[in-house]
Amino acid sequence: MNIVSFLIRYPSAVLFPFFVFGCTNYSTTASVQAPPTLISIINNGNSNFTIKVRAQNPEFIFQGYRLYSGISEKEVQNPTDLNLGTDCVLASSAVVQPVEYTFEIDPSTKANTNGVSCRIFATLTPGTYIAMRTLGLAINLQNSSSSFKVSMPSNALIVP
């Protein structure tokens, strides 16, 4: 009897151990997200800025980006609390190739301008620094909770 006919005739013999003993071959290590690369920032006036970002987000856990601003490059790339940034949650993507995003940073709650991937509701001050991190979804199977896991920091830019 060959293996194919065995599996067709006795599928429960193969599946039974999985149902009884469960699957324990999963990783508890969080996936690492690639940080984005900030290309440019333009001051559009009235506290409105446009940022060009190049990023690659090949995994289904990709959620978006988090923007950090501060008085030094070190502060924005290594904040004391990674939750203090401002989020831009995008739709999940299956893109494997690098993508160029356009973000608007504006404290007002008006709708996105045409061609803008996401609007980040924040106030930036000229002369300060900005950096971004990629947001990934982290799911804890032991207590059924989820949160965002952030990537390493991007490069930093000075706000014009």
Q: Which domains does the chain have, with CATH numbers?
A: 37-158 (2.60.40)
Q: How high is the pLDDT of residue 114?
A: 81
The CA–CA distances, whole Å, from 136 to 35, 63, 67, 119, 131 equal 11, 5, 14, 19, 17
**DSSP result, 17-48:** HHHHH-------SPPPPPPPEEEEEEEEETTE
**pTM, entire model:** 0.76
β-strand 129-140 against 62-70: which pairing, if any? Answer: antiparallel
β-strand 129-140 against 145-150: which pairing, if any? Answer: antiparallel
Cα of first residue to Cα of last residue in the chain, in angstroms, is 74
If the chain, 160 residues long, is cut into consecutive pieces of 10 residues, what is the mean pLDDT of each piece?
50 53 57 86 91 81 89 95 89 67 88 83 94 83 75 95
Q: How high is the pLDDT of residue 18?
A: 52
46-36-130-151 Cα dihedral, nearest 10 degrees: 130
